[in-house]
Structure 1
Amino acid sequence: MNKNEIHVIYGSDSRKMTYEILEKIELIKELNVDMQIGIKPNLVVAKPAKEGATTSPSIVEGVIQYLQNHGCKNISIMEGSWVGDNTKRAFKVCGYEEIAKKYNVPLYDLKEDTSIVKKVRDLDLHVCKKPLQVDFLINIPVLKAHCQTLMTCALKNLKGCIPDKEKRRFHALGLTKPIGYLAKAIPMGLIIVDGMAGDLTFEEGGNPVQMDRVIVGKDPVLMDTYAASLLGYTKEDIEYIGVAENMGVGSSNLAMAKIQEYDAQLKKSSDFKPSNKVRYLTKKVIAQSACSACYGSLVHALQRLDERDLLQKIKKPIYIGQDFQGKELQGIGIGRCTSKCMQSVPGCPPTAADIIKELERN
């Protein structure tokens, strides 16, 4: 399979679809049965895949079945949930403990892994060791929206392969540059995008959109450009795509891509448009270097208030992010970094419930 190829299969049985598409691309021809093969899903939060935030365990099961049926036995699953959530809980809630037992595949919580420094141009990136120690890494992101970067797919999914401290630093660096650089530090053998039912409103799930497709490719830049196009975005809209391309990670040239579709008669409309609801909810929010977990709690709180017609009653600005540390501001601060604000909600990250209580006072 060449880097300029994108393979898409449509349907509702994601395990069967995944197995079939791996057969069609003849993945085994690129593998040695003695290879250490790592599988990196997206388990950012402990929520079932049907909510649109996490990688379907059925897709991972299809991958494992294919690999084991072709003689590959050194397979592992690795992930690190976002700051504030528990990876082991995500493994259980998302159905990965069951798969691990069924196929005798170990689960690695990357929050417990040691890290090494990988220098990429002017950045020293702290990367977990496990993803770097495998011979072939299979990246399995979910195609979904993101409240800070508009979209998350292949490139951003690698963020689960860095320690929590580094995740916070990525936000302090503005996300765009370090995400683009990270794909240079962590080589991927294959990308399998879970396009079954991603949340096109918010990365934490709850608003899934049925898309019924699995997308396979090798080039994370090309895959993200294609994924962005499905959501009505250009590569310029998703800034880290251009950063990764400039780093030599891959090509965004969709015009030169060879796109092969299977079971196209099952294809749903490709008019999958993000709702932009997060933009509406956060009109009064001033965010600078905000971590995703903290921002996620805030969005949830604002959504609950909007459901009760209380959102418009908030008159003060809401500050969130690492850049506000030590600053005395006339407004409402969210999280530990904004403790000097006139009002603030403690926590790193704070809970949505605590944020609601504070915002209800205004």
Structure 2
Amino acid sequence: MEKKDILIIHGTDYKNMTIRILKRAGLAELIGDRNKRIGLKPNLVVARDPSEGATTHAEILEGVVAYLQECGFNNLTIMEGSWVGDNTRDAFRAAGYERISRQYGVPFKDMQADTWKSCDAAGMDIRICDTAAQMDFMINLPVLKGHCQTLITCALKNNKGLIPNAEKRRFHTLGLHRPIAHLNTVVRNDFILVDNICGDLDFEEGGNPVVMNRILAFRDPVLCDAFVCESMGHKPEEVDYIMLAQQLGVGSADTAKAHMVYLNEDLSAKKKPPMTGRVKKLASYTDSQDACSACFGSLIYALDRLQERGELKKGLPPVAIGQGFRGKTGDIGVGHCTACFSKSLEGCPPKAADMVEFLEKEWVCKHM
């Protein structure tokens, strides 16, 4: 797997999906020496079940551990520090990680209780937890989701769990963006496996999950977060820490040069995803017929961006989406399946960022 690659797999068998994508990425070959100390960094920000859209699914962690041990890697450590005010061990239990730790013999280190040292992070002094600093290879396991302060959170911000609580407080006083970017010049980002199963619409704590049933793999955390922005209807330039991290040499935000590798098709069209109140409200602006999870989820994110701008209003014709519209005509639709409509956005699925631009021009403005 190269730095510019983005691997994508769809489905609901999350453990086996994880193993399959790791094999395709050649993770064992990327790590090399079987004696390396390998850190596994999920997102356990709060003590909530992963189905609520805040934390990394246990099946993904289990798939990573099973794959690594099968390949002869046994020096593994799960590590995380929940946000200030929440207990990491409670989050560890709520996410279902205790069984995995016990069954596979992988220890857990609570970064809230870890020792730390200060280091120079490209000209900024930052305190890093000692256990994280001692790893030879880090596997970042973030959740693709929204954030009330930084718009999105994924690979780069997930590493905030590797600093002590006092440093997390200081990050907020500094405005989050600059310290997050500098943090990623010193913490390892050797491999990123993104939980894009049902991340929250716009809040790190969860509560409004958008079901997409995907797992993504990256080697570049900046490319990862730039892709996440576009997947949620934002531009990477809207998230300061992404562009700052690029300037500091952490990675590239140029998604146009990325190489997309699809391991399978999204076969979720016959299954209606569960929806909370906010997601249901956004879905009321759609006409969904056998829509795949990733395509429908992208439309929900796009509609949320339009709602933030005050552009969703009663009287708009529903946006068609899904395989049920193949070969049919209509007013407006998104995705390859609505190609015969008067107005249609190509893509399978289109990015939410492209949906926002298309819907603003062809849907909102035409019905003002």
Q: TM-score range by the shorter chain?
A: 0.7 to 0.9
| Whole-angstrom CA distance in 1 between matches of 2:300 and 2:245 | 25
Matches of 2:262 and 2:58, distance apart in 1: 23
Contact preservation (8 Å) 2:151, 2:202: no
Give 2:301's aligned residue: 273
1:161 and 2:155 equivalent? no
The whole-number CA distance in structure 1 between the counterparts of 2:166 and 2:138 is: 23
TM-superposed deviation, 1:256: 1.0
Per-residue CA deviations over 1:240-285 (Å, capped at 9, x if unaligned) read 10010000000011111111011124353032417369979xxxxx
What is the CA-CA distance between 1:132 and the residue it aligns to? 1.3
Decide whether the 8 Å contact of 2:246 with 2:252 is kept in 1.
Answer: yes
* Structure 2 residue 224 is matched with structure 1 residue 223: yes
- How far apart in 1 are the matches of 2:204 and 2:220? 23
Does the 8 Å contact 1:49/1:56 carry over to 2?
yes
Partner letter of residue 185 of structure 2?
A: K
Per the TM alignment, residue 12 of structure 1 is displaced from its structure 2 partner at its CA by 1.0
Contact 2:118 2:125 in 1 (8 A): yes
State the 1:27 CA deviation: 1.1
Residue identity matched to 1:273 = Y
Identity in percent: 46
Q: Which residue of 1 aligns with 2:279?
A: none
In the other structure, the counterpart of 1:42 is: 43
Amino acid at match of 2:91: A
TM-score by length of 2: 0.74
Per the alignment, residue 13 of structure 1 pairs with 13
User: What is the match of residue 205 of structure 2?
Assistant: 204
SS of corresponding position for 1:9: strand
After superposition, the C-alpha distances for 1:84-129 in whole angstroms (9 at most, x for unaligned) are 0000111111111111001110010001111111112331000111
- What SS does the aligned partner of 1:260 have? strand
CA distance in 2, matches of 1:49, 1:271: 22
Aligned to 2:326: none
Tell me the alpha carbon deviations over residues 44-98 of structure 1, each in whole angstroms, 9 at most, x when there is no partner. Answer: 0000100000000100000001001111111110000000000011111111111
> 5 Å matches for 1:1-362?
1-31=1-31, 32-266=33-267, 268-269=294-295, 270-273=298-301, 275=304
For 1:174 and 1:140, the matched residues in 2 are separated by: 24
| Equivalent-residue separation in structure 2 for 1:278 and 1:260 (angstroms) | 32
Q: CA–CA distance in 2 between the matches of 1:117 and 1:234?
A: 33
Q: Give distance in 1, aligned partners of 2:50 and 2:136.
A: 27
RMSD between aligned residues: 1.6
User: What is the deviation of 1:203?
Assistant: 1.1
What is the identity, as a one-letter code, of the residue corresponding to 1:157? Answer: N
SS at match of 1:215: strand
Asked whether the equivalents of residues 37 and 134 of structure 1 are also in contact (C-alpha less than 8 Å), the reply is: yes
Q: CA deviation at 1:131?
A: 1.1
Distance 1:256 1:276, change over 3 A: closer
Paired residues of 1:230 and 1:272 also in contact (CA < 8 A): no
Distance 2:239 2:300 in 1: 16
Q: 8 Å contact 1:202–1:278 — kept in the other structure? A: no
| Contact in 1 for aligned 2:127/2:163 (Cα 8 Å) | yes
* Paired AA for residue 27 in structure 1: L
Give distance in 1, aligned partners of 2:85 and 2:106: 26
Alpha-carbon contact 1:232-1:272 (below 8 Å) kept:
no
Aligned mates of 2:244, 2:125 — CA distance in 1: 16
Q: Secondary structure at the match of 2:185?
A: helix
SS at match of 2:72: coil
Give the aligned residue type for 1:271: L
Q: How far apart are the structure 1 equivalents of 2:82 and 2:306?
A: 24
Give the match's secondary structure for 1:15: helix
Q: Letter of the aligned partner of 1:242 in structure 2?
A: M
Q: Distance in 2 between matches of 1:198 and 1:90?
A: 16
The change in CA–CA distance for 1:207 and 1:8 in structure 2 (over 3 A counts) is: same
Report the Cα distance in structure 2 between the residues aligned to 1:243 and 1:204, rounded to whole angstroms: 25
Aligned length: 280
Give the Å deviation of 1:26.
1.4
Using the alignment, how far apart are the partners of 1:45 and 1:165 within structure 2? 17
The one-letter code of the counterpart of 1:259 is M
Name the amino acid aligned to 1:92: R
In 1: Cα distance, 2:205 partner to 2:306 partner: 14
* Partner Cα separation in structure 2 for residue 68 and residue 200 of structure 1: 34
Structure 1 residues 41 and 93 mapped into 2: Cα distance closer, same or farther (>3 Å)? Answer: same
TM-score of the superposed pair, with normalisation by structure 1: 0.75
The answer to whether the 8 A contact 2:181-2:244 is kept is: yes
CA 1:58–1:204 in 2, change beyond 3 Å: closer, same or farther?
same
- Give the match's secondary structure for 1:64: helix
Q: Distance in 1 between matches of 2:230 and 2:90?
A: 33
- Stretches of structure 2 that go unaligned for 5 or more consecutive residues are 268-291, 310-368
Change (3 A) 1:137 1:89: same
